[in-house]
């Protein structure tokens, strides 16, 4: 059974998160608004999950994006929810998107998990835990968060995100709507990655992934692979009509630095280090030249969470290791 001991700082997380969603936090000099959130997937019920939840609590974010694969056990949904709320508070916005382990009800049930960890962000549109978006904060938003489920099998089959499908058009419209509303930043999250140095192929779909790049989504978040990996900024041009999995095109890498300019391309980050034991990474993978940083069971082993802070002009992204680990990574995107 999980630990229930919390510090005073942990007990304040839920209240601080609720307040920050309304008033936001000061960032830098003056009263510049900011949004602060964390993101990690592939969690489980073990000591690793508890340690990562402690890390999230210490960071005191406005909300967390849980990138799929939660209890990894049948009939353990309430135990998972109790573990999360025991660490972060019952009102903390621990926002879900389904992973393959609980989508079909075999190693968890996404419907039950969505009941005990419900949406707590105002203004959410879509079907929570499967396909949804929300603007944060609700008034004069800085970030649109879009969560989708390509490559995930539900009891009635996989959701169709093929080119031109209803869910493709929904995703495209959510991205375009952020642009037309002049929301500074667009973040898309899903359980399955496309580009990876791990064990999986492009379960997210090559066409959908290239659509995200063509729309110049700022940041794409994934889980599924039990590791951390972050690409360079990837972009399309006359010299790069598409970014292809398993076949590196150097012209598609538009920035290899850690300080990037918005509008040039998209950064993909897999944060599958929320608690489960990390797997090995293949440093000789044909896609390796797309990647700027990585951590796995055989290289810079770590568990932890991604931390994102955004103002109207800058997005800072950092891998924060859990207690007992040291590997970190960080980059920024600015206007």
pLDDT digits (tens, 9 = 90+) for 278-332: 999 999 999 999 999 999 999 999 999 999 999 999 999 999 999 999 999 999 9
pLDDT digits (tens, 9 = 90+) for 60-81: 999 999 999 999 999 999 999 9
- Cα–Cα distance between 281 and 299 in angstroms, integer? 7
- Cα–Cα distance between 46 and 14 in angstroms, integer? 23
- Cα–Cα distance between 69 and 98 in angstroms, integer? 7
Angle at 180 between CA 177 and CA 185, to 5 degrees: 75
The two structure tokens encoding residue 90: 């019952």
pLDDT of residue 32: 86
The two structure tokens encoding residue 268: 């993909």
Mean pLDDT over 206-229 rounds to: 98
- Cα–Cα distance between 71 and 16 in angstroms, integer? 27
Give kind and range of the element (H or E) at residue 295.
Answer: strand 291-295
Tokens 């079907």 sit on residue = 127
Residue 143: closest CA among 205, 66, 62: 62
Domain boundaries in the chain? 8-334
- Cα–Cα distance between 325 and 120 in angstroms, integer? 31
Tokens 């509303």 sit on residue = 181
Architecture of domain 8-334: 4-Layer Sandwich (3.60)
* Confidence check: pLDDT of 149 > 60: yes
């Amino acid at each position: 059974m999980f630990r229930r001991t919390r510090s005073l700082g942990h007990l304040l997380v839920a209240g601080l998160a609720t307040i920050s969603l309304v008033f936001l936090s000061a960032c830098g000099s003056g009263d510049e608004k900011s949004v602060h959130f964390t993101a990690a997937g592939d969690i489980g019920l073990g000591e690793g999950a508890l340690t990562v939840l402690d890390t999230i609590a210490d960071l005191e974010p406005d909300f967390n994006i849980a990138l799929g694969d939660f209890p990894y056990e049948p009939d353990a949904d309430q135990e998972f929810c109790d573990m999360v709320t025991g660490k972060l508070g019952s009102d903390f916005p621990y926002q879900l998107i389904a992973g393959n382990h609980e989508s079909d009800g075999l190693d968890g049930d996404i419907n039950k998990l969505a009941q005990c960890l419900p949406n707590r962000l105002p203004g959410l549109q879509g079907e929570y835990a499967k396909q949804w978006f929300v603007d944060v904060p609700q008034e004069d938003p800085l970030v649109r968060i879009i969560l989708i489920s390509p490559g995930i099998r539900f009891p009635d089959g996989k959701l169709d995100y093929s080119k031109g499908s209803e869910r493709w058009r929904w995703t495209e419209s959510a991205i375009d709507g952020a642009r037309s509303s002049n929301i500074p930043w667009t973040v898309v999250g899903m359980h399955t990655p496309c580009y990876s140095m791990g064990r999986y192929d492009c379960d997210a779909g090559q066409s959908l992934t290239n659509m995200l790049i063509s729309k110049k989504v700022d940041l794409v978040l994934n889980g599924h692979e039990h590791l951390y990996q972050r690409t360079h900024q990837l972009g399309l041009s006359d010299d790069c009509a598409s970014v292809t999995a398993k076949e590196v095109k150097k012209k598609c890498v538009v920035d290899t630095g850690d300080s990037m300019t918005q509008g040039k391309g998209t950064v993909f980050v897999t944060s599958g280090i929320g608690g489960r034991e990390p797997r090995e990474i293949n440093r000789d993978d044909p896609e390796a030249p797309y990647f700027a940083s990585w951590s796995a069971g055989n290289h810079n082993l770590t568990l932890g969470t991604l931390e994102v802070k955004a103002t109207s002009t800058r997005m800072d992204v950092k891998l924060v290791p859990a207690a007992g680990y040291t590997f970190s990574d960080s980059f920024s995107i600015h206007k």
